Structure 1
Amino acid sequence: MTGHIKGTTTVGIVCKDGVVLAADKRGSYGNMIMTKNATKVFQVEDHLAVAGAGSVGDILGLVRVLRAEVSLYRARVGKPMSVKAFATLTANILQGSKYYPYFAWFLIGGYDERPGLYSVDPIGGITEDRYVSAGSGMEFAYAILEENYRSNMTVKTGVKLAVRAINAALKRDVYTGDGITLVVVDKNGYREMSKEDIAAILKAL
């Protein structure tokens, strides 16, 4: 599928023991639902992940570039790229492409010596955050995040909060829908939560 994803709600949360990234699965073009199983959260390396809100073609294109650059860095330097360096790399690529921009907003999450989370706008503006949301349902997600985020929360609690935030957008934003993708990046690496685990959290809300 190509074109622009008008909708999307993405969420990132820093916990004391890891980072949580989440997104809905609906891909829309104008008022038409193009897919109900869009992938918006991607593994870049064992300890690095990115979530994108915007044009699916631009998101996939940048993810391919980032994966190649991270692999080259490891080969040249002999160690993995830090989360901060990865966010800076993403920002530099977007800044260098601003005359032909990537139409997407990216959340960068990962774990090296500690968990890290960055928000990178389409022309390379970069902000380090403790929690963040992007996309058409972000106002609904932020309402949940701002009221419930705690800096000392565990990943287990952060996962539940991310599901609550995306679920708020699912209920209120017409361009957000069709399920939730949720990943955790911690000292053990990248892992995606199962549909059954997410369903259990939703049932308990």
Structure 2
Amino acid sequence: MEWATVFSGSNEGSVGTERGSERTLNPYVTGTSVLGLKYKDGVILAADMGGSYGSTLRYKNVERIKSIGKHTLLGASGEVSDFQEILRYLDELIIYDNMWDDENSLGPKEVHNYLTRVMYNRRNKFDPLFNSLVVGGVKNGQKYLGMVGMIGTHYEDNHVATGFGNHLARPLMRAEWHEDMSFEEAVKLLEKCLLVLLYRDRSAINKFQIAKITEEGMTISEPYALKTFWGFLAFQNPTKGAEGSW
């Protein structure tokens, strides 16, 4: 049977076969920046809960930080449906690993390496997953934090960010991060970064989750909002002094 278009709201978004498989040709519902950093006792991740349909903030309850196995947290920017596909891959991987029953479990480094290969493999098939991923965790007392891009680019660092966070949040992290940060200091720094992103990124919303992972376990917070102030003069007249603006 010839390839057929799978209609899911638009005939341009995905194509599939008679078996019902689909490919993301363009990102439709997307999430914005994810931030992560190491602190004294573990790793902490933060993201808002917005899902944008194009330039419209359509969904406001999208959880973009998930636990993977016993030792890892995963945060995702980009296409939400592709993130769901990645979570399905990881569920299968964790179940397969548990079936060995060897008292060992996958740690954040293994998950990071696996996702790097998955993203690079899909890129080589010209069928990429439209996501940037932050992987953080603690295993055997070792903290781990890394990032994976949609074409398989990857790195490890003491603090990472995706999307606009690479441009707006990481300079703040470079200036204020230090290795023996307490949890409270880490949260304060992340909230400062989230506030900057909220002011400057049109896709960000004032509804956030923060997740932490230590040797004792992991916790993902309930959604909460930050106190904002929109009375800055630059916000009241953003085009003042901009030649050629309206």
Fold shared, TM-score > 0.5 on shorter chain: yes
- Out of 59, 76, 87, the position equivalent to 2:112 is 87
2:41·2:214 contact (CA, 8 Å) conserved in 1?
yes
Looking at both structures, which has the greater relative contact order when contacts are Cα pairs under 8 Å and sequence separation is at least 6?
A: 1
- Out of 114, 135, 146, the position equivalent to 1:108 is 135
1:126 matched to 2:154? The reply is yes
2:50·2:61 contact (CA, 8 Å) conserved in 1?
yes
1:62 matched to 2:90? The reply is no
1:97 corresponds to: 122
2:70 corresponds to: 46
1:112·1:187 contact (CA, 8 Å) conserved in 2?
yes
CA 1:144–1:5: 2 relative to 1, 3 Å: farther
Secondary structure (helix, strand or coil) at the match of 1:22 reads strand
RMSD: 2.2
Which 4+ runs in 1 deviate beyond 6 A?
A: none
1:4 matched to 2:25? The reply is no
1:141 matched to 2:169? The reply is yes
Q: Percent identity?
A: 25
Q: TM-score, with normalisation over the residues of structure 1?
A: 0.89
Hey, what's the Cα distance between the residues in 2 that align with 1:75 and 1:138? 38
- Out of 189, 194, 197, the position equivalent to 1:161 is 189
Higher mean C-alpha displacement, 15-24 vs 154-163: 154-163
Equivalent pairs counted in the alignment come to 201
Secondary structure (helix, strand or coil) at the match of 2:169 reads helix
Secondary structure (helix, strand or coil) at the match of 1:65 reads helix
Residue deviations 1:106-141, cap 9 Å, x none? 000111021110101112222111101102344222
1:36·1:178 contact (CA, 8 Å) conserved in 2?
no
Task: Specify the code of the residue in structure 1 equivalent to 2:51.
Answer: G
Secondary structure (helix, strand or coil) at the match of 2:184 reads helix
1:190 corresponds to: 218
1:171 corresponds to: 199
Q: TM-score, with normalisation over the residues of structure 2?
A: 0.75
Secondary structure (helix, strand or coil) at the match of 1:97 reads helix
How far 1:7 sits from its partner (Å)? Answer: 4.9
2:173·2:189 contact (CA, 8 Å) conserved in 1?
yes
1:25·1:37 contact (CA, 8 Å) conserved in 2?
yes
How far 1:88 sits from its partner (Å)? Answer: 0.3
Residue deviations 1:81-104, cap 9 Å, x none? 122111101111111111211000
1:32 matched to 2:49? The reply is no
How far 1:155 sits from its partner (Å)? Answer: 2.6
Task: Specify the code of the residue in structure 1 equivalent to 2:65.
Answer: V
Structure 2: gaps spanning 5 or more residues: 1-7, 10-26, 228-246
1:52·1:104 contact (CA, 8 Å) conserved in 2?
yes
Structure 1: gaps spanning 5 or more residues: none
Hey, what's the Cα distance between the residues in 2 that align with 1:168 and 1:15? 21
Hey, what's the Cα distance between the residues in 2 that align with 1:22 and 1:180? 7
Bigger Rg, which one: 2
Q: Which has the higher helix share?
A: 1
Secondary structure (helix, strand or coil) at the match of 1:111 reads strand
Task: Specify the code of the residue in structure 1 equivalent to 2:130.
Answer: F
CA 1:144–1:47: 2 relative to 1, 3 Å: same
1:137·1:173 contact (CA, 8 Å) conserved in 2?
no
Task: Specify the code of the residue in structure 1 equivalent to 2:116.
Answer: A
2:98 corresponds to: 74
